[in-house]
A and B are shown apart, each in its own frame.
Chain A
């Protein structure tokens, strides 16, 4: 009954360090997404994945790396964290990513608050 979980929920790191944010979903949804939420910008898509081993860039991919070796996990890595990456990160999943139909409704995780000093 977990749905989508994210870990850690809060993270403080320093500029230049590598950070990995974890996302896990129990629904076997095909599609998974990473968004960042910033004041005045709403949610912006970083990367998404259509299935295991299939990923693609979103609106703001620079400085981030993703992988999806298993359907249920979609980790997001900041290879060398910068202060501009201080944000709240949300993972989401949907059953389908194709156009049309209720299966494409996205369900969100609780978020990870990341502070880069």
Chain B
């Protein structure tokens, strides 16, 4: 079955530390990839997305992600986190099968940034 794995469920970092959140998927076909962020008490917001072209994607608030097709991965990175980055992060993968949308979300990673 198609699936999306986020291996780090809870990450605690100090401000200015570097961040990398893992995301792997299991699907051999064409994919579109997303990272969403959910700040406490708020709805999901799109951080960045990959559809084609340069596998290194830059998003809002200094986040970036790299699509490595051979590793089925789309890890999220930020060189220096801030307290305001405390949120839950969801990886989502659209596994393009049969022409209709099937987006599968990972279970999320809670990031806590300590001042």
Contact = CB atoms under 8 A, between A and B. Distances in A.
Interface of A: 31, 35, 40-45, 48, 50, 90, 92, 94, 97-102, 104-111
Interface of B: 4, 30, 32, 34, 36, 42-46, 49, 51, 90, 92, 94, 96-101, 103, 105-108
Contacts of B92: 43
A104 to B, nearest CB: 6
Contact of A104 (B42, B44, B45, B94): B94
A105 B101 contact: no
B78 to A, nearest CB: 21
5 contacts: A35-B105, A45-B103, A98-B99, A100-B51, A106-B34
B106 A42 contact: yes
A100 B99 CA distance: 9
B101 A99 contact: yes
Contacts of A42: 4, 90, 105-108
Q: Which of A94, A99, A108 has the most CB of B within 10 A?
A: A99
A4 to B, nearest CB: 8
Contacts of A94: 101
Nearest to A45: B103
Contact of B49 (A35, A90, A102): A102
B96 A99 contact: yes
A105 B34 contact: yes
A99 B103 contact: no
Contacts of B98: 99
Contacts of B34: 105-106
Given A43-B44, A99-B101, A106-B46, 9 more contacts: A35-B105, A42-B107, A97-B100, A99-B96, A99-B97, A100-B30, A101-B51, A108-B43, A108-B45
